[in-house]
Amino acid sequence: MAKEDIFSKIRMIGNYNNELEVVLEKKGFSEDVKNLLLNMLYKIENAYSDYEIVKKNVETKKDYVKNIIQIIQEQCSQIEFVKPYTKESEELQGKSFIVDKTKGKIISYQNEKTVLEALFSLAQKENTSLEGEEIVAPSVSEFLKQGSIMNEVEVIRDFNGWSWDVLTKEMENLYIHTVYQELLILLGENFMRAWVNKEETFPEEEEQIEEKPVNTILSNKSFDNIYQEHEPIDYLQEMKERIREKYGEELADSMMKVLYQVWIAIFTKDHKEEKHRLKGKYDEIINILDTMKDREKYIENKTKEKKEIAKKIKQIDTIINDDVLLKEEYANRNKKLPNKEKIFSISHLVDRLEQERVYCMMEIKQINQSIEPKQFVQSQKNLEQEKEFWEEIGIEQENTHMDLLLEKWQKLFFQVLEKKLEKVETKKQMTDFIYLLRYIYYIPTPQNSIGTSNLAKGERIALQRKCIQKACEKKVLEQISEEEETNYLILQYIFTSKIMKMENIYLKMKYKEGVLSIESYDENVLERKIEERLKQNTEINVRLNKKIKLFI
């Protein structure tokens, strides 16, 4: 690194520290807390350049650090450290930290990563309500909460300024981490950050193979938002629309179905009450299907329902048209309601009764449609599909099918990446895609990293082959051999290299008695040595016993 670059970096560290110190002067934190926060900032500063190189699609260091300082300044009032295995640590209830958002208070073990997790948790908005998506609402809320925090602390968890080492033991849930990282790749940092933060202004579309800055503040003031300011954005629907637009309706529908199943399977594993609630929905479907087996009896039951609803409509009409009954209904309803839900006046009661009447009429209309021959058959088909949806999750069994569903999701994920590869045109895009596949190789899963697990292994290897072939055609990578199999055999190790800047990778090869010895270097520093047995008469395009630059 040039001398002026070193001094520039030192000055930048000083600027960030100075900014944090100004904030800390106004806080009543202990010296231990202040020192840890400053040390945390130093670790981030030291590791961020490697993090940017390896992951590519991340927000700028300036925005990342600024966000942390802003959380400390505006949302954090108190940080209290506790030591492990002490009486005070019992308050954590087995966790590494707890936060009280109303008081802006953090209780935590004295560790930089843990405190950083706590800060992001403190700032996190609750995604508890998803309009029209009550089946997955709790699952998605927990997914966003855990996934975003694991992602936010990656820079100091997996990077230390010298190496890149993915520490899976420090991740709360590997199923969530795997899927969250892959959604980041598919949808972009802007989209996921806006969703986590419940942004009211919609984020711009971003294409990850293009070089675009990522901002912490996602509001695009010039963007002609189709949503009204007061209306919440339906991120689930928008996610589906984006995938459909880019990759086709069939693939989008398959991805959303499996994604819903994965979310539910992960969440219900540790939340038995939610599993019980959703199993109730499955049981309802089974009961309805059972009654539909006897069509005449089904129609008879539906006719009884219509009669009961018709009675309710008649009762509503009677009350609305009789002032005495209206007053009695008003008094009776308000007796049963808590103060904050009481009906304001008789006129408000009339409005409510008229709404109830409209709802009853809609119910009758739906029942009439459901017993029509064509609609009856279609309803059976829809219910069978819903039954299949729940059974693929394993909602009716003791253990859900998380691993099978993750395998399905992984295959769809690689299908999407293959379509992204087809759109790659420039050398810059090709290089970024190689970086992307290298990062994906090391994404941890419950079965080790993606690259060393059996999750969609065939699809992953097929994608790597196509990537190498296209990279050689576009003169991004040196073509080692004209034989496609040999060329892949040698170049595949680019996806497993831990050399931060891949453009610095050099290979040196030696061939003896059918065995090719391959040494990879970070410029002049040996990274590793491997051996591969080649078939006879294999031709190598490059000179042996001499280092060659892998990226042209």
pLDDT above 50 (res 366): yes
Q: What is the mean pLDDT of residues 386-409?
A: 95
The token pair at 84 is 């492990």
- Residue 208, in any domain of the structure: yes
- Residue 318, in any domain of the structure: no
How many structural domains comprise the chain?
2
- Residue 484, in any domain of the structure: yes
Which alpha helices (H) appear in 424-532, and where do they start and end? 427-441, 457-473, 484-491
Length reported for the chain? 552
16 pLDDT tier (thresholds 50, 70, 90) = confident
Residue 444 backbone phi and psi in degrees, to 5:
-75, 145
- Which one has a higher pLDDT value, 151 or 232? 151
Long-range contacts of 359-366 (CB under 8 A, 24+ apart): 360/309, 360/312, 360/313, 360/316, 361/313, 363/305, 363/309, 364/306, 364/309, 364/310
- Residue 465, in any domain of the structure: yes
Q: What is the mean pLDDT of residues 242-251?
A: 88
Amino acid identity for residue 433 in this structure: F
Using the 3D structure, point to which of 216, 247, 278 is the last residue of a domain. Answer: 247
Q: How far is CA 139 from the centre of its chain?
A: 12
Q: Which of 282, 260, 298 is nearest to 386 (CA)?
A: 282
Distances (CA, A) of 37 to 72, 124, 326: 9, 19, 64
132 pLDDT tier (thresholds 50, 70, 90) = low
Those residues whose C-beta lies under 8 Å from the C-beta of residue 252, and which sit 6 or more positions away, are: 240, 243, 244
Using the 3D structure, point to which of 247, 276, 293 is the last residue of a domain. Answer: 247
Quote the pLDDT of residue 281: 95
> Can you name the residues that pair with 518 across neighbouring β-strands?
509, 530
Query: What is the DSSP secondary structure assignment for residue 543, as one 8-state letter?
Result: P
Strand order in the sheet with 105-109: 78-82, 105-109, 97-100
With b for 16 or more beta-carbon neighbours within 10 A and e for fewer, the 53-64 pattern comes to bbbbbbbebeeb
Q: What is the mean pLDDT of residues 486-509?
A: 94
Q: Which of 176, 44, 234, 264 is nearest to 445 (CA)?
A: 176
Quote the pLDDT of residue 128: 54
pLDDT above 90 (res 411): yes
pLDDT above 90 (res 273): yes
**Least confident window among 24-28, 111-115, 411-415:** 24-28
Mean model confidence pLDDT for the chain: 88
> Is the Cβ–Cβ distance between 329 and 349 less than 8 Å?
yes
Quote the pLDDT of residue 210: 43
Residue 400: count other Cβ atoms within 10 Å of its Cβ.
22
Quote the pLDDT of residue 475: 95
Coil, strand, or helix at residue 483? Answer: coil
Q: For the packed helices 323-336 and 346-370, what is the interaxial angle rounded to 10 degrees? A: 90
Rounded Cα distance between 236 and 228, Å, is 17
Quote the pLDDT of residue 3: 42
Quote the pLDDT of residue 206: 56
Those residues whose C-beta lies under 8 Å from the C-beta of residue 280, and which sit 6 or more positions away, are: none
Tally DSSP H helices, then E strands, for the chain: 19, 9
The predicted model scores a pTM of 0.83
pLDDT above 80 (res 130): no
Could you give the percent of the chain with pLDDT greater than 70?
90
**Least confident window among 97-101, 291-295, 418-422, 439-443:** 291-295
The token pair at 391 is 């059974």
Quote the pLDDT of residue 7: 36
The token pair at 371 is 């017993």
Rounded Cα distance between 59 and 44, Å, is 13
Q: For the chain, what is the largest distance between any 2 Cα atoms, rounded to a whole number of angstroms?
A: 104
pLDDT in tens, 37-60: 999 999 999 999 999 999 998 999
- Residue 37, in any domain of the structure: yes
Quote the pLDDT of residue 240: 87
pLDDT in tens, 57-93: 899 999 999 999 999 999 999 999 999 989 888 889 8
Q: What is the mean pLDDT of residues 237-257?
A: 89
- Strands 105-109 vs 78-82: parallel, antiparallel or unpaired: parallel
> Is the Cβ–Cβ distance between 127 and 198 less than 8 Å?
yes
Query: How many C-alpha atoms does 449 have within 13 Å on its Cβ side?
Result: 14
- Residue 326, in any domain of the structure: no
- Residue 292, in any domain of the structure: no
pLDDT above 60 (res 227): no
> Can you name the residues that pair with 531 across neighbouring β-strands?
517
* Residue matched to tokens 């900014």: 19
Using the 3D structure, point to which of 231, 247, 263 is the last residue of a domain. Answer: 247
> Can you name the residues that pair with 361 across neighbouring β-strands?
none
> Is the Cβ–Cβ distance between 306 and 364 less than 8 Å?
yes
Q: What is the mean pLDDT of residues 300-319?
A: 92
Quote the pLDDT of residue 430: 97
372 pLDDT tier (thresholds 50, 70, 90) = confident
Query: In which domain, by residue range, is 499 found?
Result: 424-549
Highest mean pLDDT among 166-180, 214-228, 235-249: 166-180
Q: What is the mean pLDDT of residues 327-342?
A: 86
Amino acid identity for residue 21 in this structure: E
- Residue 131, in any domain of the structure: yes
